[in-house]
Amino acid sequence: MLRGKTGDDRIFMGDDSFVLAEGGDGTDTVAVDFALDLTNVSDDALSGIESFDLGGNSAAAMTLGVDDVLAATSGKNALTETENTPVNRGGEEGAVKVFGEEWEISSDQIDTDGDLIEES
């Protein structure tokens, strides 16, 4: 189990054997350096996460569905000031895939230095 605290946490994930990663309060980042498929992970596994960092390894990638976005973000994101909008930092182009027609990945429009995964 990886559990963040009230401050801004950086949670490193080296493989998908984690059971739980709770960001808690604050602006929390999950750093991923492998191909993470959140559609194969319980929706309970991530919570309170505001951003993902795929910049540490060229193999880093992430696949996620709408359920995963909703589960991981746990409401309003302090980075984006919007609901259920995680930020992706780093990674190769196309490294993040989102399933669900109503969601898209858009370039940063605000000062978060990343791509937003948001409702379109």
Q: Which residues bind Ca ion (CB under 5 A)?
A: 4, 9, 23-24, 26, 28, 48
Residue 75 Cβ vs Ca ion, minimum distance, rounded to whole Å: 9
Contact (CB, 8 A) for 43 and 67: yes
Helices in 5-115 by DSSP H: which ranges? Answer: 66-73
Q: Which is nearer to Ca ion, 81 or 102 (CB)?
A: 81
Residue 120 Cβ vs Ca ion, minimum distance, rounded to whole Å: 24
**Half-sphere exposure at residue 43, Cβ-oriented, CA atoms within 13 angstroms:** 9
Q: Which is nearer to Ca ion, 47 or 61 (CB)?
A: 47
Residue 5 Cβ vs Ca ion, minimum distance, rounded to whole Å: 5
Q: Which is nearer to Ca ion, 23 or 91 (CB)?
A: 23
Paired with 46 in beta bridges are 21
Q: What distance separates the 2 farthest-apart alpha carbons in the chain?
A: 34
